[in-house]
Amino acid sequence: AQSVTQLGSHVSVSEGALVLLRCNYSSSVPPYLFWYVQYPNQGLQLLLKYTSAATLVKGINGFEAEFKKSETSFHLTKPSAHMSDAAEYFCAVRRRDAGNMLTFGGGTRLMVKP
Amino acid sequence: EAGVTQFPSHSVIEKGQTVTLRCDPISGHDNLYWYRRVMGKEIKFLLHFVKESKQDESGMPNNRFLAERTGGTYSTLKVQPAELEDSGVYFCASSQEGGLAGGPTDTQYFGPGTRLTVL
């Protein structure tokens, strides 16, 4: 069975500071990996995904994530936080071998201080 | 192009009542998914339609939940009778590619969710 762990349900950074949101997965076979963001009163929006090409994946709004097989991690980073980045972020995985179901982590709420 | 839409955005009902949630996927998307987030927990998969057929309903919690997708377009999720633990946000998503094992480009696009409160 797959599982996803997001360390820290709440993360607070200052505007302009580095954003680092952690995601670790548990899967017998490296899965497809996704980061979604949910802004207030909106649906989940795909930030980026890893499907087996380059291990460093660039997404929208300046975010990127690096797939590290040895660490079973897919942490999300952004060099400089902006106030508009305040939202809830979800890491998700999907099996390569069967099914379309996404398995989500618990979510991390990012707060950006001025 | 319109995104995934869900109706209603909020619903407050009493225990024992019936509620029907609706999802309109992106036009042309054969795959439709329902997920649920109970307060304080992670988002969990409920089921997956390919056109009008249920491909995977392994996440449906019990037989009080009935999902349909007549004609392969919009979908409804009915809860009857509703219980307190059914409260949460119900998300719908759709994707273009089909098949049991979706390809790497099979991105799921999510709607804004329906917040269900059972009193």
The yes-or-no verdict on residue B29 having pLDDT over 80 is: yes
pLDDT score of B101? 45
Of B4, B48, B109, the CB nearest to A101: B48
Asked if A32 reaches chain B (Cβ–Cβ under 8 Å), the answer is yes
pLDDT score of A30? 76
Chain A hits for B102, CB-CB cut-off 8 Å, are 94, 100
C-beta of residue B46 within 8 angstroms of C-beta of residue B34: yes
Tokens coding A7: 């360390």
Asked if A78 reaches chain B (Cβ–Cβ under 8 Å), the answer is no
Residue tagged 């590619």 (tokens): B97
Most confidently modeled range among A22-31, A41-50, B11-20: B11-20
* pLDDT, mean over chain A: 91
CA-nearest of A48, A104, A44, A50 to A78 is A48
Residue tagged 């897919």 (tokens): A74
- Which tens digits make up the pLDDT trace of B60-96? 999 999 999 988 899 999 999 999 999 999 999 999 8
C-beta of residue A74 within 8 angstroms of C-beta of residue A23: yes
Q: What is the chain A residue with the closest CA to B102?
A: A100
